[in-house]
Amino acid sequence: MNKTLILVVEDDRTVQNLMTTTLKTCNYRYIVAVNGEIAIMEAATHNPDIILLDLGLPDIDGMEVIKKIRTWSDVPIIIISARSEDSDKVEALDAGADDYLTKPFSVEELLARIRVTERRIVFNRREQNESNIFVNGKLKIDYSSGCAYIDEKELHLTPIEYKLLCLLASNVGKVLTHTYLTQKIWGHSWENDVASLRVFMATLRKKIDKESMSVQYIQTHVGIGYRMIRVD
């Protein structure tokens, strides 16, 4: 039996059945909530490992559910919604969602996102135990000395590139929006900051790519942000 407990928040019976059948087939434990109020209550009562959240709910909007749950919990939240605009994804990610899947979705894609999230949970737990060193494939960050390496070769990063790398690393597997990153780095998010962010991200990537050859660590989500991928 898979130990991961998943809270499915979905009012549409057909989609709900598709999700629960899929989860059942893969031996996940799950609970179902058909509206936002029940979702918040179930999240508080059962402390699930992952939440799959529809945004269009009959009582309160899914965005409110994210904000409410984030006041006490860091549980990974994967949005599963028909809203497909970049602005909707950005809003949900900025409110604290971890990932976003647009309806209609394939069962394989849903399971892939759940697996990525499960790996991130395990990874984060491990990170907390060895908090001074971050390792992802050949990439290593030594937080105590403020140095990053690929294959033991030091990357000569500027302070902002290093800060960006640390932000991506501490959220490995999660898409970080332009707003989130610029806020963290400069304390504000103006039009120019996003342009600067692109420049710093490009130079950071170039330095990583130079040493890591074919391995791609940072994924671009056009119009949304960036994500570090777990490579091993």
Examine residue 11 and tell whether it contacts Ca ion (CB under 5 A). Answer: yes
Q: Which stretch binds Ca ion (CB under 5 A): 5-13, 44-52, 137-145, 183-191?
A: 5-13
Spacing of C-alpha 99 from chain mean position: 5
Residue 62 or residue 76: which is nearer to Ca ion going by CB?
62
Rg (CA), the chain: 18
Residue 54 or residue 91: which is nearer to Ca ion going by CB?
54
Asked if 111 contacts 6 with a C-beta cutoff of 8 angstroms, the reply is no
Nearest distance from C-beta of residue 78 to Ca ion, angstroms = 15
Nearest distance from C-beta of residue 99 to Ca ion, angstroms = 18
Nearest distance from C-beta of residue 12 to Ca ion, angstroms = 5
Query: Measured at CB, which residue is nearest to Ca ion?
Result: 56
Residue 38 or residue 172: which is nearer to Ca ion going by CB?
38
Nearest distance from C-beta of residue 148 to Ca ion, angstroms = 43
Residue 54 or residue 94: which is nearer to Ca ion going by CB?
54
Nearest distance from C-beta of residue 103 to Ca ion, angstroms = 9
Examine residue 54 and tell whether it contacts Ca ion (CB under 5 A). Answer: yes
Pairing state between β 139-142 and 147-150: antiparallel
Out of 41, 56, 190, 219, which residue is the one contacting Ca ion (CB under 5 A)? 56
Q: Read off φ and ψ for residue 59, nearest 5 degrees.
A: -100, -75
Examine residue 17 and tell whether it contacts Ca ion (CB under 5 A). Answer: no
Nearest distance from C-beta of residue 10 to Ca ion, angstroms = 6
Q: Which stretch binds Ca ion (CB under 5 A): 11-19, 31-39, 105-113, 196-204?
A: 11-19
Binding site for Ca ion (CB under 5 A): 11, 54, 56
